[in-house]
Structure 1
Amino acid sequence: MNHAVGLILAAGRGSRMKGLTGDRPKCLTELAGRPLLHWQLDALSTGGAASLLVVGGYLGHMLEPEEQGMPAGAYATLENPDWARTNMLSTLLCAAPWLERQFGQGAGQAVISYSDIVYHPGHVAALLAHPGHVAITYDTLWEPLWRLRFGDPLLDAETFRQEGGRLAEIGGKPDSLDNICGQYMGLIKVSREGWRMVTQRCARLGDAVARTDMTGFLRLLLGDGTPVGAVPVAGRWCETDSGDDLERYQSALAAPGWSHDWR
């Protein structure tokens, strides 16, 4: 069968959203008239993921399909019961039984998505088309988005370098824009073999998994010599870390032709 599946890591509250997540998970905050989660589900399915999983935690009952006005079984759900003390890597490992079952039933690839991003389905399709066992997308048009959000893009940007289509450096503190050829978006693809590599590396981390963020984990894979494909895209996505982000994006969407309009 060799079909693809998708999973969304949606366990955290998103404390930087402040009052916007007082009564809902971060992925249920709205942008352009829809919850972030709904944009993600549509992008993953349209981009080529046949089965979907949402891994919740904070107010996880709200993420059930029926709570979102969707048919029962529209997507699967799981919970990270220790969401308040762990991170996205731990949340990903909560999905291991589901993901391994999907691989056993013929899935060839899985796209893993952060829950605070929205993106065009074409980015998912481009990621799935990459032949590598582990791959990520990166935005070559990142600078206008960072200027919109932060003014000075160096305030929040991280180093990102690729060589011959493979990730070479990620997650450092840049001292100039010359150290940045793009920005990681929060979309990762793994094949069955790639998932084996991920779980073996996590096993070696042990309890440190809960203290390792996803960018740090990618650096560990690079340090092991694991090839990580780097798939370039140009805009058509955004990340929401705060209410200010939502307001800025709404204003940008009001003018036609915004480079990061994902719709």
Structure 2
Amino acid sequence: MTRAIILAAGRGSRMGELTTLEPKCFARLHGRRLLDWQLTALRGAGIEQLAVVRGYRAECFVEPLTYFENPRWQQSNMVRTLLAADSWLAAEDCIVSYSDIFYSAATVSGLAAAKQDLAIAYDPHWHALWSQRFDDPLADAESFRLDSAGYLATIGERCSNVAEIEGQYMGLLKFTPTGWAQVRELLAGYSEAEVDRLDMTTLLRLGLQADWQIAVSPVQGVWGEVDAADDLALYHRLFSVADLTH
């Protein structure tokens, strides 16, 4: 059985007024919250056990889901939010989703089908989307290269050339309980303050240094990440409701 966890503790301050009263995942795309698009995709992939890790404006979440809390969301980063759902991650296979992205059920299904203990979804055709989001795609993009066997080799480093980037990590991951045990073993070597500062790509990069085998699964259909209000405006132009429901 596969469960899904949405990491929604942060505020998303770059969204400006859109997150003054509501969490970032309440930003709307074609009239539906990002959270709604995520839940639809996860359920469309057959995942019924759904959880959200809350932090900023936690009281806004009223859906009948399982909730975990990161009360220190202001002092910590994504890995600390992930740790709040330790009980689920240790018990069953889990899809883990950032809360500021949207994606298809097919992408979730492809990732869930990965046999490896650690896997991430990625966009091999990232440059087309990044070229519309940024004047200089390299200003935001990070390294992403695969090894000869098709597993992740590098991630999360600054690049000076588009040729160094074979895709972009989407913010969608899969852990089996064995994979999660690898994460806990690695984090045991860091202080609480160091764990507080860890973001997800740094965790993955540290995992590669520890010889983790991280599988990759390509995106299927449309997807996007929302860092600013301009992103929402772009996605309204690029994607129709029909695009988002396939």
Q: TM tier, shorter chain?
A: over 0.9
Helix, strand or coil for the counterpart of 1:53? strand
Distance of aligned partners of 1:262 and 1:139 in 2 relative to their CA distance in 1, 3 Å threshold: farther
Helix, strand or coil for the counterpart of 2:5? strand
The CA RMSD measured in Å over matched residues stands at: 1.5
2:165 counterpart (153, 173, 180): 180
- For residue 50 of structure 1, report the CA deviation from its aligned partner: 2.8
- For residue 111 of structure 1, report the CA deviation from its aligned partner: 0.3
Kindly report which structure 2 residues correspond to 1:80-91, keeping only aligned pairs within 5 A, or say none.
80-91=70-81
Q: State the match for 1:121 in structure 2.
A: 105
- For residue 253 of structure 1, report the CA deviation from its aligned partner: 2.3
Q: State the match for 1:220 in structure 2.
A: 206
Partners of 2:89 and 2:175 within 8 A in 1 = no
Determine if the alignment matches structure 1 residue 239 to structure 2 residue 225.
yes
Kindly report which structure 2 residues correspond to 1:77-226, keeping only aligned pairs within 5 A, or say none.
77-100=67-90, 103=91, 107=92, 109-163=93-147, 164-207=149-192, 208-226=194-212
Q: Deviations over 1:164-205 (max 9, x none)?
A: 221000011111111011000000101110111111112222
- For residue 235 of structure 1, report the CA deviation from its aligned partner: 5.2
Q: Deviations over 1:42-84 (max 9, x none)?
A: 111211323010001000011121xxxxxxx3x2112110001
Helix, strand or coil for the counterpart of 1:204? coil
Q: Deviations over 1:199-238 (max 9, x none)?
A: 1112222321111110000000000001011112255110
Kindly report which structure 2 residues correspond to 1:46-61, keeping only aligned pairs within 5 A, or say none.
46-61=44-59
Helix, strand or coil for the counterpart of 1:154? helix
Q: Deviations over 1:110-140 (max 9, x none)?
A: 0000000000011110001111000001101
- Structure-1 separation of matches of 2:87 and 2:94: 13
- Structure-1 separation of matches of 2:154 and 2:115: 20
Scaled by the length of structure 2, the TM-score of the pair is 0.95
Runs (4 or more) in structure 1 with deviation over 6 Å come to: none
Partners of 2:30 and 2:241 within 8 A in 1 = no
- Structure-1 separation of matches of 2:48 and 2:150: 27
Unaligned 5+ residue runs, structure 1?
66-72
Helix, strand or coil for the counterpart of 1:184? strand
- For residue 153 of structure 1, report the CA deviation from its aligned partner: 1.2
Partners of 2:89 and 2:177 within 8 A in 1 = no
Scaled by the length of structure 1, the TM-score of the pair is 0.89
- Structure-1 separation of matches of 2:196 and 2:108: 27
Q: Deviations over 1:133-163 (max 9, x none)?
A: 0000110111111011102211111110012
Distance of aligned partners of 1:228 and 1:213 in 2 relative to their CA distance in 1, 3 Å threshold: same
- Structure-2 separation of matches of 1:111 and 1:61: 24
- Structure-2 separation of matches of 1:49 and 1:196: 22
